[in-house]
Chains A and B, each alone.
Chain A
Amino acid sequence: MSEFSIPFKTRPKVAVYLTVVFSLILIVLPKKVKFSFATAVSSVVYAPFSSLGQSISELVRLKKENQALRQALVKTKLETASLQETRLENQRLKSLLGLPAPAGFTPLAAKIIGMEPSRRPAEVTVNRGVLDGVQRNLPVVNLTGLVGKVSDAAPEAAIVELLYDPGCRVAARDQRSRTVGIVKWKSGPYLSMDNVYYQDDVAVGDTIVTSGLGGLFPQGILIGTVRAVGADSLSTFKQVEVEPAVRFPAIEEVFILLPPPETSGQKEIR
């Protein structure tokens, strides 16, 4: 690369005179000419820089705006999710209000506040307790069917033993054939209806409801549907597999069926 050389290096006086004269000419130019000259030259010289500056400030502004919009979007999304959740809860509660309670029982709405984090929970905790009139062994239902029974009650909460609890047994009946049995969980994803004699009529697709014979659950509450019937000629009983009507991992609200107050009165009379 050739070395940069200053003009008039050998004759510095000429350089001084020329630059001074040029400056003086600029000074003595009429104001109007000065303006038009400066505007014309600066629009060429400074144009790239000013457009660069504008682009940078625009970028900065857009970045800030983008950040603010993202924040607003996240906030709106959260609000929407919360509203959606509230709407769904409202729908569920509304439908629960229309739940036909068995005769004599008063349904007490309860929210589930604790559940085992498993695919097949065996018990849940609800936000109603002794102070609300909840006591042990009260039946618990939701809109789709039988959920279980209260196994323990504290003043402000209660534990509900679900149908999947190995200790939970429900006196049941085949709604079509009126065959009775005991529904309980043995293993696997389904319930089992025991004590169904070999010659009893139970078919796949039959609806199984509570029989009311055990004394704990009122009759007619939906338990589930017969999924499979096993008939072993050597056995006295049939193996009946029942698919529960309630989707246990998804329940959020339940109804505890409080016994009618007169029941206790009648008991006392007896």
Chain B
Amino acid sequence: MKGLNFLFCLFFVLLYESLLYPLISIAGARPDMALIFTAFFALSYGSLEGLFFGFLSGFLIDLLTPSLLGWGTLLRLGLGFWMGNFKDNLFLENFFSKGVIAALSVLVFEIFYQLIHTGLSFAGAGYILIRYSLPDAFYSSLVGFALFYLTQKKKRKEAAAEL
């Protein structure tokens, strides 16, 4: 099941990056689905799963911006690994906390990525961060909340059925 989820999410990331994102972007802001799924895998299965999903999704997305090839991959795999450390934290049973972790990871990713993109120009990166990254992080957190809420609900149902 985990493998199917992994492949389906990767496929969805490809579909989203190539086709779907204009449909759900609001005033230029769009959720970072790759990082949301990375957070999902990291927080559901662990660091290694988060690392691999971050690595593969980052690589696939980096193909669309060849000048920054590798940077997105590195940042996403790092974030996937980092988020995986929260997996066994009891506090993270709450879907809200998971959404916050996902939003934070989007924000961290955006800060580093935009700094690299602008050649470490803080002024340029600052503008992009305020104009795009913060709305992206906010939007991602909303989508993350929804995703984690649904998965939590499903898990509880399955647990209740087992009992």
B-contacting residues of A (Cβ < 8 Å)? 3-9, 12, 15-16, 19-20, 22-29, 31, 34-35, 37-39, 41-42, 45-46, 49-50, 52-53, 56
Instruction: Knowing A23-B55, A27-B74, say if A38 contacts B66 (CB, 8 Å).
Output: yes
B136 at the interface (CB under 8 A from A): no
In the bound complex, how far is the Cα of B55 from the Cα of A5, in angstroms? Answer: 16
**Counting chain B CB atoms within 10 Å of each CB, which of A15, A26, A49, A56 scores highest?**
A26
> With A6-B49, A6-B52, A38-B62 as given contacts, are A26 and B69 in contact (CB-CB < 8 Å)?
yes
Contact B63 A49 (CB under 8 A): no
A4/B60 contact (C-beta < 8 A), A23-B55, A23-B74, A26-B70 known: no
Q: Is the CB of A19 within 8 A of B77?
A: yes
Tell me the minimal C-beta distance from B1 to chain A in angstroms. Answer: 8
Q: CB distance A34 to B19 under 8 Å?
A: no
Q: How many residues in B have their beta carbons less than 8 Å from beta carbons of A? A: 29
Docked-complex contact B2 and A31, CB < 8 angstroms: no
- Name B70's contact: one of A29, A49, A56 (CB within 8 Å): A29
A24–B63 touching, CB < 8 Å: no
Which of A4, A16, A25 is in CB contact (< 8 Å) with B4? A4
Q: Is the CB of B2 within 8 A of A46?
A: no
5 contacts between A and B (CB under 8 A): A4-B6, A9-B48, A15-B48, A16-B81, A22-B55
Max count, chain A CB within 10 A of own CB: residue among B6, B18, B48, B66: B66
A46: which B residues are within 8 A, CB to CB? 14, 18, 63-64
Give A25 to B55 CA distance when docked, in angstroms: 13
Measured CB to CB, the closest approach of chain B to A39, in angstroms, equals: 7
A31 in contact with B67 given A23-B74, A26-B73, A45-B14 (CB within 8 Å): yes
The answer, yes or no, to whether B47 is at the interface (CB within 8 Å) is yes
B24: Cβ under 8 A from any A Cβ? no
A7 cross-chain contacts in B, Cβ below 8 A: 52
Complex Cα distance, B60 from A38, in Å, reads 9
B residues whose Cβ falls under 8 Å from a Cβ of A: 2-4, 6, 14-15, 18-19, 47-49, 51-52, 55, 58-60, 62-64, 66-67, 69-71, 73-74, 77, 81
Given known A4-B6, A53-B19, contact A24–B70 (CB-CB < 8 A): yes
Chain B residues near A26: list those with CB within 8 A.
59, 62, 69-70, 73
B3 touches A3 (CB 8 A): yes
Question: Given A4-B3, A9-B48, A19-B52, do A49 and B69 touch, yes or no (CB 8 Å)?
Answer: no
Determine the chain B residues whose CB is within 8 A of the CB of A50 once the complex forms.
18
Q: Smallest distance from the beta carbon of B16 to chain A beta carbons, Å?
A: 10
Closest to A43 in B: B63
Smallest CB separation, A23 vs chain B (Å): 4
Chain A residue nearest to B70 (CB atoms) is A26
- Which residues of the partner chain A approach B3 to less than 8 Å between Cβ atoms? 3-5
The answer, among B14, B55, B66, for a CB contact under 8 Å with A49, is B14
Q: Which residues of B contact A42 (CB under 8 A)?
A: 63-64
A38 to B71, CA, bound (A): 13
Bound-state CA distance A29–B47 (Å) is 28
Residues of B within 8 A of A37 (CB): 66, 69
B58 (CB) vs chain A CBs: closest residue: A23
Q: Given A4-B3, A27-B74, does the pair A12, B48 have CB atoms closer than 8 Å?
A: yes
- Given known contacts A4-B6, A6-B52, A15-B52, A23 and B64 CB-to-CB distance under 8 angstroms: no
Q: B residues within 8 A CB of A20?
A: 74, 77
User: For residue A56, which residues in chain B have a CB less than 8 angstroms away from its CB?
Assistant: 19
Shortest Cβ distance from B20 into chain A, in angstroms?
9
A146–B62 Cα distance when bound, in Å, is 90
* A49–B19 touching, CB < 8 Å: yes
B84–chain A nearest beta-carbon distance, Å = 10
